[in-house]
């Protein structure tokens, strides 16, 4: 259903006669092996007036290197954010000169705080 698809990270688009199915690597029921190999087993049911009903099982899989770019991925009805990385520390001493030009009184406070934190 569309609700299940958006909750679980799937999209299904119909462009007759084709159907496009997309799944996020973080979607429901995806098997994740070491954050590098992802697989999903889907069941496809075909039916119609001119086709005898049939069911097919298909395994989808993909591989990523550990540092592959996949932090933010936007799709039609969902967004995923993955691969948490540390944010580098801010060097306040480096920024002191910029503040000094705009607010000279802040420069004095920054120098005091920076020297007392060492």
What is the pTM for the complete model shown? 0.52
Please say if the pLDDT value at position 79 is more than 80: no
Contacts of 92 (CB under 8 A, 6+ apart): 110, 113, 114
Are the beta carbons of 7 and 16 closer than 8 angstroms? no
Contacts of 81 (CB under 8 A, 6+ apart): 71, 72, 73
Are the beta carbons of 30 and 40 closer than 8 angstroms? yes
Residue ranges per structural domain of the chain: 2-81, 92-118
- Quick one: what percent of the chain has pLDDT higher than 70? 53
| Pairwise CA distance, residues 111 & 91, whole Å | 12
Report the number of secondary-structure helices (H) and strands (E) in the chain: 3, 7
Distance of CA 114 to the CA centre of its chain: 37
Please say if the pLDDT value at position 16 is more than 60: yes
């Amino acid at each position: 259903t569309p609700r299940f698809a958006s909750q679980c990270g799937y999209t299904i688009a119909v462009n007759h006669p084709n159907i496009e199915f997309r799944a996020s690597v973080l979607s429901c029921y995806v098997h994740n092996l070491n954050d590098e190999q992802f697989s999903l087993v889907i069941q496809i049911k075909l039916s119609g007036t001119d086709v005898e009903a049939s069911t097919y099982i298909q395994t989808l899989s993909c591989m990523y290197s550990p540092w592959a770019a996949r932090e933010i991925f936007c799709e039609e009805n969902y967004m995923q954010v993955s691969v948490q990385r540390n944010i580098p520390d801010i060097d306040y001493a480096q920024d002191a000169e910029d503040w000094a030009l705009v607010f000279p009184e802040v420069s004095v406070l920054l120098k005091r705080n920076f020297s007392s934190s060492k």
